[in-house]
Amino acid sequence: MAFLLVFIPVFAFADDVSNASSVSDVSDVSSQAVVSDTSEPETEPVITSGNAIVVMSVETGQILLNTANGREVDPTCATKLMTAMLAFDMANGLDNQVTVDAEALKNIGKKGDISAPMLGLRAGNTATVRQLLQATLISAANDACNALAYSVSGGDIAGFVEKMNARATEIGCEHTYFTNTTGLYDGEAYTTVEDVAKIAAAFYRYNTLLDISSQPTYVIGGSTIHTKNYLRSETLMRGCTIRESKGMIAGQRTDKSDYCLITAGESDGIGYVYVIMEAAGEIRNTDGTREFPKENAYADMKKIFNWYKNAYGYVTLAKKGEVIGELPVDIAADSVDHVNYVAADTVERLVLKTMDTTAIERRVKLTEERLTAPVKKNTEVGTLELYYEGQLLGSVGLVTNTEVDKSELLSVFGTVKSFLFGSTMKTITRVVLGLILAFVAFTIGAKIYYAVKKAKKELEKRDRNR
C-alpha cells in the first residue's frame, strides 16, 4: 500500500488518467475528423493535406513516400524515441527503481499544456525504469521522460543530450540537433522528417520498446493511463485506430498545431515506418471532447498505412556471383583468352509489385577494356547500374570470378613483341634509319666529289697536251 499512497496524489492532474471504475467516463470522447475504415485503395493515395509525410522501409532505408522534401521541422515527440533508446541502453535493468530528483522536473513545460504532457511526478516519487519508459512512450509524459534521462545519466542531462546527438549521427541523420530530452519547443532544436524516419527505423529494432509503445494503457500507482497515440486505442479519441499499427508515439509542438504522429507496420516480414509531421493540432474543447480538423495526421495515416505496406515487394536485381560479361585477357596460360566478371553482391530493391521487371535496364561501366595476366579472383573491374524508366534503382561492383595465370612463353613473346613494337624499338629504328640515310648521303656525296675531281684533272691534262 505504501507504493499506492505515493502515487495517488501524484496523478491528480495527469490528463489521460482513469481508474478502472471511471474508464467509461472518458470513453465517450470521440473525434469526428476521420473514419475508422482502413480499406486499401487500388491506386496510390493522393495526399492533399500539405502535411509533411515520409514512409520508409526499415530494412533498406528506401523512402517510398516523401511530401516533406528535406523541410526543417521541430523534433517534438520524436525526441522521446531517441531518449527512450538511449535510456534503455544505459539502464541497468527495467525493474530497477528510480527516485525522482527535483532537478529532473525543471524545464519540462507547463502543467496542463497539451504540448507538454505530464504524468504528475513530484520530487521523491519512485518508479521503475519500465514504468518511466511506459509513461514516456505511451502517454508522452515530459516529466517521466526527463526523470528517466536524469537517472540513467547520473544527473548529467547536458551529457545525455550530447549522446542523443551522437546517436543521431550514428544512425545516419544528416540534419538533426536535439537540445533537450523531451522535445519541448525552444526554437533551437531541429530535424527533418527524413531524419525522424531514420530514428523511427532504429527504434523499430528495439523490440521491447516497440512493444511498450504499442500498449493502449498501462497502470501505475493504481491509476490506468491511456495512450496519446490514438492509433492504438479508441478510449480517448474514436475513429483513429489502425489495429495493425505497431506503437511508437504521438504529440504536438504547440497547444494548437504541428502534430506529430509516428508508427510502424509490417507485411510479408518487411517493416515500414510512417512519419507525419506539422499536421493540424488536436483540439480539446471545454466540454471535455477532443477532435481534429479535417486532413489531420490520422486521416492521412488511414490513407497511406495499408497501401504502402501491401503495394511493395522485393525484387532481386542482381545475384551475387551472377555472370554479367567477360573481358579479354592477354598472355594467359592454358589458352585462356578471357575472364568472366560477376556481381560482387546480391542487389535487392523494394519496388511496386505492379512494376514490369522485364523493363529494368542494366548498364555496365568498366574501368578496363582488357586485362593482362596474371589476374586475381575478385579483381574489381567496374560497376553494374540498374535503371527503371530512367531512375537508378541500385548498383553493384563487378569483379572477376576466377584467377588467370600468366603464360611464361607468351610472356616472353609478349616481352619481345613489346620490345619490337614498343616505343623503345621505334626510337632505335628511327636512329638506325637516320644513320643509314646519313651513310647513303655521305657515300653518294663522296662519289660525286671524286667524280667531279677526276673530271677536273682530265680537263687540266687535255689543256696541257694542246
Same structural domain, 143 and 241: yes
Q: What is the pLDDT of residue 439?
A: 84
Whose cell is 509490417? That residue is: 266
Do 388 and 450 lie in a common domain? no
On the question of pLDDT at 422 being above 70, the answer is no
Residues 150 and 247 grouped into a single domain = yes
Task: Give the residue, 44 or 181, on which the prediction is more confident.
Answer: 181
138 part of a folded domain: yes
Contact 138, 227 (CB under 8 A): yes
pLDDT above 70 coverage of the chain, percent: 87
Rg (CA), the chain: 38
Does the pLDDT at position 444 exceed 50?
Answer: yes
Q: 209 and 343: one domain?
A: no
**Of 253, 288, 310, which residue is a domain's last?**
310
* Nearest Cα residue to 325 out of 307, 299, 337, 343: 343
Q: What is the pTM of this model?
A: 0.78
Judged on CB neighbours under 10 Å (0-12, 13-18, 19+), 449 is exposed
127 Cβ neighbours under 8 A, 6+ residues apart = 97, 98, 100, 121, 135, 144, 147, 220
Please report where in the chains the cell 493540432 appears, as a residue: 281
Tell me which of 361, 378, 408 is where a domain ends.
408
> Contact at 8 Å (CB) between 344 and 320?
yes
% of the chain exceeding 90 in pLDDT: 68
For residue 53, pLDDT over 90 is answered with yes
- Per-residue pLDDT for 1 more than 60? no
> What's 44's DSSP letter?
P
DSSP H/E element including 294? none
Last residue of a domain, one of 290, 310, 330: 310
Q: For residue 387, which of 310, 327, 318 has the smallest C-alpha distance?
A: 318
Within-domain flag for 416: no
* 295, pLDDT greater than 80: yes
Both 219 and 238 in one domain: the answer is yes
Q: Which pLDDT belongs to residue 83?
A: 98
> What range defines the domain where residue 456 resides?
422-465
pLDDT of residue 443: 85
Q: Is residue 415 part of a domain?
A: no
Q: How confident is the model at residue 38 (pLDDT cuts 50, 70, 90)?
A: low
Assigned domain for 414 exists: no
Do 8 and 54 lie in one domain? The reply is yes
CATH classification of the domain holding 401: 2.60.410.10
Count the domains in the chain. 3
Q: Are residues 451 and 375 in the same domain?
A: no
pLDDT band at 30 (very low <50, low <70, confident <90, very high): very low
Alpha carbon distance 265, 305 (integer Å): 7
| pLDDT over 50 (residue 2) | no
- pLDDT recorded at residue 450: 79
- 94-112 pLDDT per residue, tens: 999 999 999 999 999 988 8
Residue 236 · residue 290 · CB < 8 Å? yes
| Co-location of 330 and 257 in the same domain | no
Average pLDDT over residues 83-93: 97
Q: What is the pLDDT of residue 13?
A: 39
Q: What amino acid is encoded at 115 in this protein?
A: S
- Pair 65, 116 in one domain: yes
pLDDT, tens digit, for every residue of 246-290? Answer: 999 999 998 778 999 999 999 999 999 999 999 999 988 888 888
Judge whether 126 lies within some domain: yes
Pair (289, 151) in one structural domain: yes
Indicate if the pLDDT at residue 420 is higher than 90.
no
Element (H, E) at 267: strand 257-267
Please report whether residue 224 resides in a domain: yes
The answer on pLDDT for 393 being more than 50 is yes
Written as nine digits, the cell of 46 is: 493522393
Gap between the Cα atoms of 297 and 249, Å rounded: 12
What is the residue type of 409? Answer: L
pLDDT for 161: 98
d(CA 281, CA 291): 9
| Cα angle 152-172-281, degrees, rounded to a multiple of 5 | 75
Same domain? 91 vs 220: yes
Mean pLDDT score of the chain, rounded to an integer?
87
Per-residue model confidence as pLDDT tens digits over 130-163: 999 999 999 999 999 999 999 999 999 999 999 9
Residue 85 lies in a domain: yes
> What's the pLDDT at 211?
98
Which tens digits make up the pLDDT trace of 306-350?
999 999 999 999 999 999 999 999 988 888 899 999 999 999 999
Residue 413 located in a structural domain: no
Residues 36 and 149 in one domain: yes
Helix (H) or strand (E) holding 193: helix 193-204
